[in-house]
Amino acid sequence: MSYKFLDHATDAIIEVTAKNLKEAFSVTADAVIDLTLDQDRVEEKDQKVFSAKGKDLRYLLFSWLEEIPFILITEGFAISRIEFDIIQNEEYKINAVAYGEPLDVKKHNFKVEIKAPTFYDMEIRQENGVYMRFLLDL
């Protein structure tokens, strides 16, 4: 399981590889948090419950990529880690709990604000593991 940032002039393009879907979404969360702040500086003093949902995996990924920056930036909550379950019925849903503390720009080394995820160049493949690529507007 891994992620890497690809070269882009103004935005962030992230590639994720993982052995399964849950691991891919976990790695995706770590990549988004790492892009925003230093995750290892965050203490687990509090928690926030949240969810993401989508009619298919692309919409679920988009929703996930909206929710994490919303908690980080809009709610001002620095995330150390996220525990979650993926549920698939008529649509996909993630029920999650983020552990962390109130955001302190200096303590957590706030790096960049994520404006929004995009569907542009988004790709999800499930062949011998999971591959995801997505673009975040910074």
Residue 49 belongs to a domain with what CATH number? 3.55.10.10
pLDDT bucket at 24, cuts 50 / 70 / 90: very high
pLDDT of residue 10: 74
pLDDT digits (tens, 9 = 90+) for 118-132: 999 899 999 999 999
Report if residue 62 sits inside a domain: yes
Report if residue 28 sits inside a domain: yes
Q: pTM value?
A: 0.92
Report if residue 134 sits inside a domain: no
Residues 130 and 19 sit within 8 Å (Cβ to Cβ)? yes
Report if residue 44 sits inside a domain: yes
Structural domain harbouring 55: 2-110
User: Which residue has better confidence, 32 or 121?
Assistant: 32
Query: How many domains does the structure of the chain reveal?
Result: 1
Residues 104-130, mean pLDDT to the nearest whole number: 95
**What count of other Cβ atoms lies within 10 Å of the Cβ of residue 128?**
8
Report if residue 137 sits inside a domain: no
Report if residue 60 sits inside a domain: yes
- Taking each helix axis from N to C end, the angle separating 21-36 and 57-69, rounded to the nearest 10 degrees, works out to 30
Closest CA to 119 of 58, 74, 48: 58
User: Which residue has better confidence, 1 or 133?
Assistant: 133
Question: Residue 130 pairs with which residues in a beta bridge?
Answer: 18, 126
Report if residue 125 sits inside a domain: no
Plot region of 124 (φ>0 → left; ψ -120 to 50 → alpha; else → beta): beta
